[in-house]
């Protein structure tokens, strides 16, 4: 896609990020660009994909990973994911964690490991996503960078 641009999100992107997350039934009520590091994929200045992480020491919670349904199967998610990994490495993150109810097979293919909720660092377990936004039935996964 020639008009695709991936960049760090700005405050002006926040409403579009929330709308995209809500349209995909992902939690967005706790979005805070000062707390989470967001990347966005833009097509003609419209946010069509996003991925974020919250940093806690040398670990981070990967979250808010979605591509608009109209733009899927075009490798946009793969590009967002690769950029998030690169940014994680630059920030000294050694371990990524996530919660999912639907994308576990996707992350299995990327080399993530399924773990128990009790295996995440305390700071990750205390995040809003772990504490209240994601159901207890969510699959917890870990990736060592």
For the chain, what are the domain ranges? 4-144
What's this model's pTM, rounded to 2 decimal places? 0.90
Closest CA to 64 of 73, 54, 79, 55: 54
Q: Which CATH class is domain 4-144?
A: alpha beta
Q: Which of 28-42, 45-59, 130-144 has the highest mean pLDDT?
A: 45-59
Q: Is the pLDDT of residue 15 over 90?
A: yes
Specify whether the CB–CB gap between 28 and 21 falls below 8 A: yes
Comparing 122 with 134, the larger pLDDT belongs to: 122
Task: Report how far Cα 48 is from the mean position of its chain's Cα atoms.
Answer: 14
- So what's the pLDDT on residue 136? 67
Specify whether the CB–CB gap between 96 and 62 falls below 8 A: yes
């Amino acid at each position: 896609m020639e008009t695709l641009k991936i960049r760090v999100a700005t405050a002006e992107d926040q409403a579009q990020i929330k709308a995209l997350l809500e349209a995909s039934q992902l939690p967005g009520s706790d979005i805070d660009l000062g707390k989470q590091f967001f990347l966005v994929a833009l097509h003609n200045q419209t946010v069509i994909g996003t991925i974020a992480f919250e940093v806690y020491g040398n670990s981070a919670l990967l979250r808010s990973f979605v591509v608009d349904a109209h733009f899927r199967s075009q490798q946009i998610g793969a590009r967002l994911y690769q950029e998030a990994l690169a940014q994680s490495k630059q920030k000294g993150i050694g371990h990524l964690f996530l919660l999912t109810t639907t994308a576990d097979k996707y992350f299995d293919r990327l080399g993530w490991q399924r773990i128990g909720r009790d295996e995440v660092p305390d700071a990750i377990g205390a995040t809003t996503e772990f504490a209240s936004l994601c159901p207890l039935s969510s699959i917890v996964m870990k990736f060592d960078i």
